[in-house]
Chains A and B, each alone.
Chain A
Amino acid sequence: MRMDSERQVVPEEALIEFRGVDKYFDKPQEGRYQVVGDLNIKVRENEFLVLFGPGQCGKSTILNMIAGFELPSSGAVLCQGKPVEGPGPDRGMVFQNTALFPWLTVMGNVEYGPKVRGVKKEERRKRAQHYIDLVGLQGFENSFPVKLSGGMQQRVGIARAYCNEPLVMLLDEPFGHLDAQTRYLMQDELTRIWQAEKRTVIFVTNNIEEAVYLADRILVLRNCPTGVKAEYEINLPRPRNYTDPEFLRLRREIDAVVDHTL
């Protein structure tokens, strides 16, 4: 389904780049406070990058700046070398609370992106069906989101973002609201989906196990104002095993550098 010729990414060039990004928020009571400080990140094409850090440290703000929902206060966020100026279909987001359109069926949600961008009905149906199958939701095309379980809703969210064939997938703690069992299952599923159709993925989580299980590369983030504290390449073969000694060693090593202050 993917047209690689459309990609104009020079291999050594970063797909997404943060150059000295600062982000301040103005709160009426607390005044101005900094959430992101001097952030420098380069994201390679087709890598699975996990942004891992404690609680409310501005991880979502980083994703929102790539998505274009927020703009940096200073510095630059670049997508294929061009500054991000607003939301666009080349950057697909999977939201923590799914943000599915409740009045549309599964099919309606997945084909929404191609539809608003003017892809013809037959073509977009075919494409949407492909991604519905990919996330394992065949048979639920005509169900409304309210009828689906949390895990299935998030599958729709993933298919919807994939169906727009974005350059980069942004996942904002997508499994945060799921129970532990479903969460493990969805981590496996996401790995399978990503291996079936490689995309650049930036995945935000505050769960260390999830980070090590999914990532090619983990950036450990500092607490507010956030920036990169440490970087780990994870070269474990997939599918990974939570009890593998090397997995556990990495987990301990990363855990040791995390800010554990409340």
Chain B
Amino acid sequence: MGEKQKRVFFGAIGIFVFLCIWYVATALTALGTVMPDPITVFTGFFTAFVEPIGTHSMTMHILISLRRMLVPYIAGGVLGVLVGILMGWYRVADAILMPYIQMIRPIPPIAWIPLSIVWFGFSEGSKYFLIFLACFFTIALTTYNGVHSVDETLVRAARMLGAKDNQLFTSIVLPTTVPYIFSGLQVALGSAWATIVAAEMIRSSEGVGWLIISGQETGDMTQIMVGIVAIALTGLLITSIMRGVESKLCAWTVRGK
């Protein structure tokens, strides 16, 4: 077995053992009264693809949540990269913007819920706002660190070979920064997806976060677990896709391999 197959093999065993413990624990102990067993949960999860929960099927719940996450994620990504480069390249921008970033970043996105409702109402806007906050700062800071990690000898080498300032930026600074941008995008994707529940708590009638909230309101334990499984599996899927893109684009780094 190769390294990769080994990883998949032991990963699969780990999941199987976990499901067995879950099953036995709910069947034999008091845990069974507060938590459905895995067979019920996964049956509920897959049934939801054909039988809608609320007004939508599982596919729609996932797609709606993905759209809610992707719009502000892309906006936060583009703006974060631009602001990160701006701060990394110009000292003045660094001095002006850095204090704000350091102050706002540690505030958890859910702390913004009341304000976001006042500013954006119960529309999609308030959800976009929360998820934007969850990813913008991470991406801006990792990009900034990337620009700052440019190797001085490579700059010298480029100048020695005849590169001008703008060529220095595109041929040395940007390539150095790309792996940092990707690690920022990767982390931000995780937090953006994690914030989806908080964002859908504001008020929604669909989405994976809504599954959990409405399960809580109706006391439907299985639906809550189905929502959690949907978030977990979709999260796994999108971060794997992201890692695939990264290893294609950063083939030259040791990280990309």
Contacts and interface: CB of A to CB of B under 8 A. Distances in A.
Interface of A: 67, 69, 86-89, 91-93, 95, 97, 99-104, 112-113, 116-117, 144, 146, 160-161, 164
Given A99-B153, A101-B154, A112-B171, A92 B164 contact: no
B227 to A, nearest CB: 42
Nearest to B153: A99
A101 B151 CA distance: 10
Contacts of A112: 158, 161, 163, 171
Contacts of A161: 160
A116 B160 contact: no
B251 A116 contact: no
Given A113-B162, A116-B164, A146-B252, A95 B153 contact: yes
A99 B167 contact: no
Contacts of B164: 116
A92 B153 CA distance: 14
Interface in B18-32: none
A117 B167 CA distance: 10
Interface of B: 151, 153-154, 156-164, 167, 171-172, 175-176, 178, 251-254
8 pairs of A and B residues whose beta carbons are closest in the complex: A89-B162, A113-B161, A87-B159, A99-B157, A103-B175, A99-B153, A116-B163, A117-B162
A89 B252 CA distance: 26
B185 to A, nearest CB: 18
Contacts of B154: 99, 101
A113 B252 CA distance: 20
A67 B153 CA distance: 13
Nearest to B250: A103
A93 B162 contact: no
Contact of A116 (B153, B161, B176): B161
16 contacts: A69-B156, A86-B159, A87-B160, A88-B162, A89-B161, A93-B156, A93-B160, A101-B154, A101-B172, A112-B171, A113-B162, A144-B251, A144-B252, A146-B252, A161-B160, A164-B162
